[in-house]
Amino acid sequence: MLTPERLSLNTATVREQWDLRQCVEGCLRHGFGGIAPWRDKIHEIGLDEAARIIRASGLGVSGLCRGGWYTAEGALTEAVIDDNRRAVDEAAAIGSKYLVMVVGGLPEGSRDIVGAREIVTEGLAKTLEYARSVGVHIAIEPLHPMYAADRACVNTLRQTLDICDVLGDGIGAAVDVYHVWWDPEILDQIKRAGKERLMAFHICDWLVPTRDMLTDRGMMGDGVIDIKGLREAVEAEGFSGLNEVEIFSALNWWKRDADEVMQVIIERGRTSC
Ligand code: ZN
């Protein structure tokens, strides 16, 4: 069971309804403990204003979504490195200890997933070096393998932790139940990660059937994920961060009144997490 102060609103959950200011006000109104903005919501109102609003709210910040996309230009370019440096600065500005990374998939026209993963590791190393200098941690989010081609070629927690082992301190994992629930190794890999590398915990549910690969995530309790089991597994390692609610739902939740969405999240936090 999760009470509202243990929840964080990932702004993607109400991205069609609310701007960043409305998200912050909504979190306060509904008693959420924190927020996790996407960069587009920050850019809409400008970084200075976003930082001011978030800091003044007193809300926790469970992460900034997102950096990464290292393979977007086919090789690691200055433009990609610069954008990730800006993302680190934005995380620091809004008081987020973590920058969440969606690392990028296969470069266009490529069949070289091994090479893509090399680009990603090299890019993460560069961003990590800068992030360490400003005190931001890098949280790699492994994505479900159905996104390996177009979003992220890091697809399991094991693979994430292997990269962390190579790169050292200041880098860890954002565990999103949507991406990892199916993985037979997940509990062992959560143990392997330990407190230091468990940097974020994202919740939603896996609907059966899933009608769209990207935008048909379910509200907690409407699908098949053992959310409570996974939450207890990360908490057993000492994770004490917020439970970040991240629901992409073009067919359902994005069409509803956002305050209603917040209320349902709170109910499901109590009954289904
Ligand atoms: Zn996530």
List residues, by chain if needed, whose CB lies under 5 Å from ion ligand 1: 176, 202, 246
Distance 173 CA to ligand 1 centre (A): 11
* pLDDT at residue 255, as a whole number: 98
CB atoms closer than 10 angstroms to residue 72 = 17
Quick check: pTM over 0.85?
A: yes
In angstroms, rounded to a whole number, what is the distance separating the alpha carbons of residues 149 and 178? 17
* pLDDT at residue 8, as a whole number: 98
* pLDDT at residue 39, as a whole number: 98
* Closest listed residue to residue 217, CA positions, set 263, 265, 166, 169: 265
* pLDDT at residue 69, as a whole number: 98
Distance 141 CA to ligand 1 centre (A): 7
* pLDDT at residue 210, as a whole number: 98
First to last CA, the chain: 5
Distance 115 CA to ligand 1 centre (A): 24
* pLDDT at residue 35, as a whole number: 98
Assigned CATH topology for domain 34-203+227-245: TIM Barrel (3.20.20)
Distance 171 CA to ligand 1 centre (A): 16
* pLDDT at residue 163, as a whole number: 98
Q: Where are the domains of the chain?
A: 34-203+227-245
- What is the pLDDT tens value at each position of the chain, 273 positions in all? 999 999 999 999 999 999 999 999 999 999 999 999 999 999 999 999 999 999 999 999 999 999 999 999 999 999 999 999 999 999 999 999 999 999 999 999 999 999 999 999 999 999 999 999 999 999 999 999 999 999 999 999 999 999 999 999 999 999 999 999 999 999 999 999 999 999 999 999 999 999 999 999 999 999 999 999 999 999 999 999 999 999 999 999 999 999 999 999 999 999 999
CA distances from 151 to 74, 214, 220 (A): 13, 10, 23
Contact (CB, 8 A) for 175 and 192: no
In angstroms, rounded to a whole number, what is the distance separating the alpha carbons of residues 40 and 46? 10
Distance 91 CA to ligand 1 centre (A): 16
Distance 31 CA to ligand 1 centre (A): 21
Distance 36 CA to ligand 1 centre (A): 10
